[in-house]
A = this chain, B = another copy of it.
Amino acid sequence: MIDKHAIADEFRRIQDRICSGLEREDGKATFMEDAWQHATGGGGRTRVITGGNVIEKGGVNFSAVEGDLPAFMKDKVAAGATRFFATGVSIVIHPSSPMVPIIHMNIRYFETDAGDAWFGGGIDLTPIYVNTAQATFFHLQLKNVCDRYSPDYYARFKSWADDYFFIKHRHETRGIGGIFFDYLRPSEGMSKEMLFRFVAEVGDTFLSAYLPIVEANKTMHFSEENKRWQLLRRGRYVEFNLVYDRGTRFGLETGGRIESILMSLPEHVSWIYNYMPLAGSEEANTLAKLKKGIDWVSIHDIQ
């Protein structure tokens, strides 16, 4: 029977593998690590990379903490619980080039002392310029993992990501989405071991879904206008994370380690009043694709 220690150990190994893969791809910068302790038990390894050939700023964080169950969690868990344990890996990568998409991944496991336990997670891609073929490739990698566990996972989790990674006040999705899932509890058809394997595979898909896109785009030329658009799209990323992201808001409200939580924010960002891309521009084309419900897997050309 898989227990919380085995899950945390595997999450730590996933963090290691992803850091190595990203360092290799970057070719210049390496991760620095801050190990920290949580006041009520456990701790984490925050790893940050900056100033690379490819990556301007990125974080690959592991944590495994425990404590008293916060009051607002009590209606989300099976009755009788007083303590929780939570472990996860969280990643946000902000490349320097506007041609290379921002990526986010999270995998997590939560259990209470009353025996309730579930997995959650997600991966989503935020291209500054949407490339349809690459969006299809990215979604196919995720669908491939999902399909090995349940025929309905991809459709459910893709649509969940569309709803989750949505900037309501802008009526825009954050990027081309991906998958998002939460409260995946063991059930008749799906044991805890199976769920754990699924979530670990999501973690291990990170590099194979992302690096080919980085490879293809990292040496592309870009203009001042491309860079300006990137800084504005990063502004949207900040808006999403500070206004809507549950993990961020949970962390801010419960006194999490602020620097680990906010490592998700890009280094350079900008806001310009009422910026509207010219009709027919690449920027306008991208904006038109930041919508829910696009079937990236079967699309050939949505223009």
Binding site for B on A (CB under 8 A): 34, 48, 50, 57, 59, 168-170, 231, 235, 238-239, 242-243, 249, 252, 255, 258-259, 262-263, 265-274
Contacts and interface: CB of A to CB of B under 8 A. Distances in A.
Contacts of A267: 270-272
A170 B258 contact: yes
A258 B276 CA distance: 13
A265 B59 contact: no
A100 to B, nearest CB: 19
Contacts of A263: 273
A262 B57 CA distance: 25
A61 to B, nearest CB: 11
Contact of A259 (B238, B258, B269, B274): B274
7 contacts: A48-B273, A168-B252, A170-B258, A238-B242, A243-B252, A267-B272, A269-B270
Contact of A274 (B34, B242, B249): B34
A70 to B, nearest CB: 16
Nearest to A264: B271
A35 to B, nearest CB: 13
A268 B268 contact: yes
Contacts of A258: 169-170
A259 B242 contact: no
A251 to B, nearest CB: 8
A262 B271 contact: yes
A94 to B, nearest CB: 10
A168 B242 CA distance: 14
A273 B242 contact: no
Given A48-B274, A239-B262, A259-B273, 9 more contacts: A57-B271, A231-B268, A235-B265, A238-B242, A238-B269, A243-B243, A259-B274, A267-B271, A269-B270
* Highest count of chain B CB atoms <10 Å: which of A34, A242, A265, A271: A271
A258 B168 CA distance: 11
